[in-house]
Structure 1
């Protein structure tokens, strides 16, 4: 219940922030605080802050603890509106008073939600931002599925963020990953446990630029439907929880990434290739689906 309320507040922040950033003059006039350049600048800043609240509340799996950021923003808003009430007169002052009352009501809802989350411990030890779990069923025999994954140089074929994995010998490998701004990140990893046909576990070596590890389990699916592949990953989130919230909002959360990767893995093992289209040339990917459209035939010129 508390998390649902927090998410509803996130949608409110999104709508309000978008309006403030897109039309600061109109918002200022409606609120009775004016349409001067300083006012418009302040409204845009407040709108950007509201969008930040929306990012945290809508991007987090357990959003309730982030409501405290809205409470802090409410205090700032009420302080600024109180000053505006003291300096306006007539109908403009009445508008500011009305807006102040509305903000006070919203602040009460924010505070109630934040206190409720704190009393119940929402988002405490249950939110393990650095661990994720995903699974998929592949319609192929277990040994075949294991062998494909065990050849870790195959991983870039279905893990879209991986540029390469190069085996360096003795259970060690060199991983190269795409990063924002056309950068790449590399680190060394090692296989720490290998049970043929059952389980494979790995981790980055001490001192690596990326701290990560995980394991994948292979089991016969019920009813002879192939192989259940279960992945458990541990990772370090750049930027901590805020970075995680940003990633979730952009569709690049590690949990979504690994689910997309597993769907591509299933396609490769079952059909030999990733299903692609003109509308989604890299195959299944969450961020692409935000603006997904029906694929169109590739137009060819006529001689």
Structure 2
């Protein structure tokens, strides 16, 4: 699914989080009026149940508003809705007259919220699937580049430019028809090759790709380009999913060498910013090797040139 689709789903989930916050606060602050308004009896047991539901709603609010990706947590609200509808159904059967009408009205309102919760949760399930649930890595990074959006998009879209700022890429060869051949260097200097195809391409906005069948390193990802606030250039966001060579063992080994994938992507974006804004990767006397990540690990404080 597109990044915009996911952002809309998360915004909807956050709105449900605010709704839970309001409901939970009201149920804890005024359980008596709520039980009477809903057609329930005003007993200590009923007020206690309303307070418990309020605590649960505050829990929903905490996980939805406190999560960077709140949409999958909406399933907790769906489970709570099911319990509420069951309890309200029993209350309807035990009420008559005006109290029964009020319980029915509350049940209809909860059913409406349940439908919205279920819709949001199902949207979250339709997000882009992982390449391999067991052991797959998901990376996110972003940077602001002080260049026009179209210019930034066009430079990245020429995949043969990527090795200029991606430290572990040896080369990218454009094959044609949306396909390209990639060569990369792993932590042990082993050369890894694969083919990739573009699966979504929107001029000036988005480039999405995935590896082809049989790739040594299965991967997919997307890079999006949006105007930065205050006319500060272009915001570049990268999302990558891939199956690390050697699985978790390979990933742990890479970390020991100081080459964690998340840090690699962030470093690559910093070098991309340098290339776009200055025309080259900035080198210093203390780090003359430039983009070589292993050499950068041994960099030293710069000294005046004698």
TM-score of the two chains, using structure 1 as the length reference: 0.53
Alpha-carbon offset, residue 127 of structure 1? 11
Q: 1:256 to 1:180 in 2, by over 3 A?
A: closer
Give the equivalent residue in structure 1 for 2:30. none
Q: Within 5 A, what are the aligned runs for 1:184-203?
A: 184-203=191-210
1:160 aligns with 2:167: yes
Max Rg structure? 2
Q: Tell me the equivalent position of 1:178.
A: 185
Aligned-CA RMSD value: 2.3
Q: Does the aligned pair in 1 maintain the 2:187–2:254 contact within 8 Å?
A: no
- Pairing partner for 1:265 from 272, 291, 296: 272
Is the deviation greater in 221-230 or in 173-182? 173-182
TM-score computed with the length of structure 2 as normaliser: 0.53
Alignment equivalent of 2:299, drawn from 280, 284, 292: 292
Among 146, 160, 183, the alignment partner of 2:153 is: 146
Structure 1 residue 212 corresponds to structure 2 residue 223:
no
Query: Are 2:233 and 1:229 equivalent residues in the alignment?
Result: no
Asked whether the equivalents of residues 198 and 207 of structure 2 are also in contact (C-alpha less than 8 Å), the reply is yes
C-alpha displacement at 1:250, in angstroms? 2.4
Gaps of 5+ in 1: 1-125
Gapped regions of structure 2 (runs ≥ 5): 1-132
Q: Structure 1 residues 285, 271: CA separation in 2 closer, same or farther (over 3 Å shift)?
A: same
Contact in 1 for aligned 2:205/2:224 (Cα 8 Å): yes
The 1:127–1:250 alpha-carbon spacing in structure 2 relative to 1, beyond 3 Å, is farther
How much does 1:167 deviate? 0.4
Residues 273-292 of structure 1 correspond to what in structure 2 (within 5 A)?
Answer: 273-283=280-290, 287-292=294-299
Deviation at 1:289, TM superposition (A): 4.8
After TM superposition, the structure 1 = structure 2 runs for residues 80-119 of structure 1, keeping only pairs within 5 Å, are none
Report deviation, 1:298.
6.0
